Amino acid sequence: MQLFGPDIFMVNKKKLLLTTLIAVLVAGNVFFGVKCFLDGRLLQEREQEIQNHEFNRDVVGFLNLFIEKVLRAQGEVSFEDRLQLENSVRSLKDDEILGKWEAFSNSATEAEAQQNVKDLLQVLAEKIYE
């Protein structure tokens, strides 16, 4: 009986090859798992940036509409323009902006309306800046 015959080296080579293959596969799974996790976080960050960009675009759209229909108005703002402004501000789905808009639109005096316009414009600028 041989202790170190050619068969024993063949078995050890097969075990070594199999162990190496399993280690490479496990390392690959770990690498791709970590990469997938990091890519998922990056994707979430990018989606949040896109949402912020779209919100800012909508805020600027409302701001432009407000400037055109209210600040540059010659006389009283028409019902259609007020409705368009109301729909535009509600589409932002921002409670703070909506609150400032409602305060402005419910102003009783011209002085109160001027103060509420300043407050509304400040909130719009802050939202864009964020």
pLDDT in tens, 33-88: 999 999 999 999 999 999 999 999 999 999 999 999 999 988 888 999 999 999 99
Query: DSSP alpha helices (H): ranges in the chain?
Result: 6-66, 79-91, 95-105, 110-129
In a domain, 109, yes or no: yes
Q: Does the pLDDT at position 112 exceed 70? A: yes
Comparing CA positions, the residue from 124, 108, 16, 111 lying closest to residue 67 is 124
How many domains is the chain built from?
1
Looking at the domain assignment, is residue 4 inside a domain?
no
Range of the domain at 54: 18-129
Q: Decide if 9 is inside a domain.
A: no
- Whether residue 1 is contained in a domain is answered as no
Within a domain: 10: no
Classify residue 102: in a domain, yes or no: yes
